[in-house]
Amino acid sequence: MLQSLFNPVTPKTTFDIITLVTLSTHMVVALVLPLATRRAVLMAGFAFWRLCYNGGLGWILNWQSSRHGLVALFKRNGWLDPNRGGRVYTWLRSELEAKMGPGYSFESVPIEFNVWLLYRQLVDLVLLNDFATYFFLCSCYLGSANDTEPWHAFLRIAGGLTLLAFNLWVKVDAHRVVKDYAWYWGDFFFLVEQSLTFDGVFEMAPHPMYSIGYAGYYGGSLITGSYTIFYASLAAHMLQFLFLSLVENPHIEKTYERPPLAIQVIQKSRIRRMSAPMSDISDSARDTTASVGDACKVSIRERPTSLWHPELIVFKNFDLLRASDVLILLLLVYSVGVPLCFWWAFGHSQMVFVYSAAQCIIWVLFRTLVLGLLLRKQSTSQLITRWYIKHGGDGEEAFSSWRAVYNTATIMTYGSFGLVAMITYHWGDADFGNLILFHTLGLLLIAFHVWSSRSVYETLGDFGWFYGDFFARDSSMLSLAPPDIKLYYTGIYRYLNNPDK
């Protein structure tokens, strides 16, 4: 991209000329206008090009992924057809031949490849201007920090330069792994005989180009010492994650094969076991699957409720007409909502704090120690399952009850901790900029916790989230458990061991 654009010997296409003109405009703005004006203009320019990247390019990619919209647009209008394209065809062909050089043959490649090459030029235009406006914006804020000691400034600048160098290495290594084809989202236009590659920097972090690949943003924030640059960088990074979640991830999941998640294996196993005739079941499995075969003959009302009415997972699948869900909600209201209202109305903060802190400690100990001990006994002696069988139940009923207890403990642990946090919260006496920074970092850590928990659940599914493998020995659990319970190191588990801990 850079070599062909800034090499004076290389022929320039229309997109190259537009890119050079816009880059020169940003440079003139950064050098000529007054400080306050150029800060405002460059901030608006950075916001515009960032939205063009995540919004504009993202919309085009999503349109192309779902409906092959961009390629269909060129086919419908005949822009790359010599018989229908006219001047547009001549212009586009000359653009591509000038860009690609003598080794490129316009007629010998499919239309999808040519459309992708044109899209690449649009990507170069947007990405280069996005980087340039950010760079010039940072230059306007150099010297914003109020360092009390010289070594503070040294550490800040050294840390920023380290992040910039790390950012450069991540991008270069990522390009080495994925090449131009994936770098420019080629799989949205056509597929080649290859699979997803996880090498180099891709073994370090999930989606490194969008996660740790934006470390340079925070390096620029450190070098300038400006909160404005930091929050602009943070907003741009969040937009990039939205682009990843709404555009790239759906396309990757739709296009490439991936190892089956635990919940997918469970669902397929359940369907197979409930529908397979008894003659197809091996002799060794006849006894253990007889109860499942009988379950196929009874009405749905007589089947285990988990097969047709999904149970509560935190507050997912919440049902106001299900008694257990309503009781959990009432427990949360009485344990958290009522003390909070009492504190707001009467202001007895000390008494409410002692109550909320004691409640939080009790729920944490119950969830970790008591439920942990029960799981240990379940693993060694099937204590919970044997208790329910002794009283006329079965393994699935034991697992269902365990799920309800564990989910209640999880909700109350976080709810009681939130109550303590709200009661003890105060704005603080630090500098306003530092307060905003502390709040931002706290919210980011909360968001990271939510994301990691969702990633764990998406990888494990319901069965693994509730430690179903501890209950899988009972024959009544065959309708819920996969035939071969295996660990799949996908999702967040590729990078962390026990991420939920």
pLDDT score of 302 more than 70? no
On the CB side of 352, how many CA atoms lie within 13 Å of its CA? 22
Instruction: Return the pLDDT at 494.
Output: 64
Per-residue pLDDT band at 197 (split at 50, 70, 90)? low
Provide the 8-state DSSP code for 246: I
Task: Judge whether residue 21 has pLDDT over 70.
Answer: yes
- Token pair 């026990």 is at which residue? 498
pLDDT band, residue 390 (cuts 50/70/90): confident
Tell which wins on pLDDT, 335 or 488.
Answer: 335
Per-residue pLDDT for 41 more than 70? yes
Q: What's the mean pLDDT in 304-314? A: 59
Q: What is the mean pLDDT of residues 108-137?
A: 93
Structure confidence at residue 299 as a pLDDT band (50, 70, 90): very low
Reported as a single tens digit per residue, the pLDDT across 329-350 is: 888 888 888 888 878 877 667 8
Q: What percent of the chain has pLDDT over 70?
A: 82
How many C-beta atoms surround the C-beta of residue 197 within 10 A?
Answer: 11
Beta bridge partners of 469: none
**65 confidence band (pLDDT: 50, 70, 90):** very high
Beta bridge partners of 316: 313
| Stretch among 85-94, 195-204, 375-384, 439-448 having the lowest mean pLDDT | 195-204
Distance of alpha carbon 92 from alpha carbon 85, whole angstroms: 9
Q: What are phi and psi of 316, to 5 degrees?
A: -70, 140
User: Can you tell me the mean pLDDT for 189-208?
Assistant: 76
DSSP 3-61: HHHH-TTS---HHHHHHHHHHHHHHHHHHHS-HHHHHHHHHHHHHHHHHIIIIIIHHHH
DSSP for residue 313: B
**Per-chain mean pLDDT for the chain:** 81
State the pTM of this model.
0.75
Q: pLDDT value at position 178?
A: 85
Please give the residue that has the higher pLDDT: either 325 or 221: 221
**Residue that wins the pLDDT comparison between 23 and 11:** 23
Q: CA-to-CA distance for 476 and 319, rounded, in angstroms?
A: 26
